[in-house]
Amino acid sequence: MILPKNVKLNNKKMLFVLLSGEHPTLPKAEVRAILESEKVFFKILDFSPRILRIETSPNVQNLICKRAAYTHFCGVELGLVEASEKEILSLVDNVDFDFFVSSGESFAVRVKWLGEKQKNLDTLGLEKKIGELILKRKPSLHVNLENPDKLFMGIIFNGRFIFGLTDKPKKKNFWKRTPRKKPFFHPSALQPKLARCMVNLSRVSKGKILYDPFCGTGTIPIEAELMGIEAIGSDLRESMVRGAKTNLNYYGVDAHLVVADAFYLPFYTINHVATDPPYGRVATTFGFSTKSLMENFLERIVELINNGFLCVASPKNVNVSKLGENYGFKVLETHSIYVHRSLTREITVLKLE
């Protein structure tokens, strides 16, 4: 059964998203947060651990591709069938390619396995047969495996085959922004993928401002600015603020940086916060325990957030969820990340209404 045969249904689109397998819960949560931040219609119909199928508004595909850290690609769904060669080729033969490609354009086909492979299906063979069917239907097209105008993607998972038209993956070059690649380095700095995910979990949208009150080397403001989101970062240590400015300049982005105490924040109101307060062996907490630091910060930030969101990283044993509830926050979600034997990091998203 093809779901759906005609992609345009009541001015909505069916999208499918291939999630990263780097974490069991963060990739899906990040996509949901991005869609919520922009207040677009969406409905997640079903999913496997790494596949999301989403009914949503037009133009959402580019939004997900640009912002998400833990997403490999997002595509317009052209069909979903049982994972057998007969069903797959029947699906492709029924797609209205005139709607998706223009005469003279180039294309490529990729088929990817998720999970255990089936002996009766060969991905390279399927790619060739699907490409031949497309050329039969649209002989004015030509194949370009290196840099196609359109990329058709098939994914085999859980005995099913999903087929669609995807954007060429946007290179986010996270490896260029890992802590040791930055000109100003500190060992406690976040990895850029997690920092970007935290920005997205804060539900900040373009046109709004993101604030990081413990900006350190500037990783969170850098990722926000690279997504086109205006960011403000502050830190109590002038040396860290200067170092963060060096890093921002290195990556060609411009966020507002100030020297400020997170217990005495220089704002009247702020609605989107993503931050990684100091903790661990190499971090400086100025004599406060991590829990005490977090309690003091929450007591202050609660005065500034109005119907806003706070995404914070902390050691799991601090129990930010409980602390947040004590100050009137609603806990939206938590995600645990094992770092090493003595540290499991917890990403907590709080909302104050």
User: For 67-93, what is each residue's pLDDT tens digit?
Assistant: 999 999 999 999 999 999 999 999 999
Q: What are the residues whose beta carbons fall under 8 Å from the beta carbon of 342, sequence distance 6 or more?
A: none
The pLDDT tens digits for 151-167 are 999 999 999 999 999 97
Report the distance separating Cα 351 and Cα 342, nearest Å. Answer: 29
Whole-angstrom distance, CA of residue 229 vs CA of residue 211: 11
Preceding amide of 4 cis, omega within 30: yes
End-to-end CA distance of the chain: 44
d(CA 241, CA 169): 33
pLDDT for the residue 171: 82
For 121-128, what is the mean pLDDT? 94
| Segments of the chain assigned E as strands | 13-19, 42-47, 51-56, 71-82, 106-113, 142-143, 150-157, 160-166, 209-212, 230-235, 256-259, 272-275, 308-315, 330-340, 343-352
Distance CA 19, CA 342 (A): 29
High-pLDDT (> 70) share of the chain, %: 94
Domains of the chain in start order, with CATH, are 13-166 (3.30.2130.30), 175-352 (3.40.50.150)
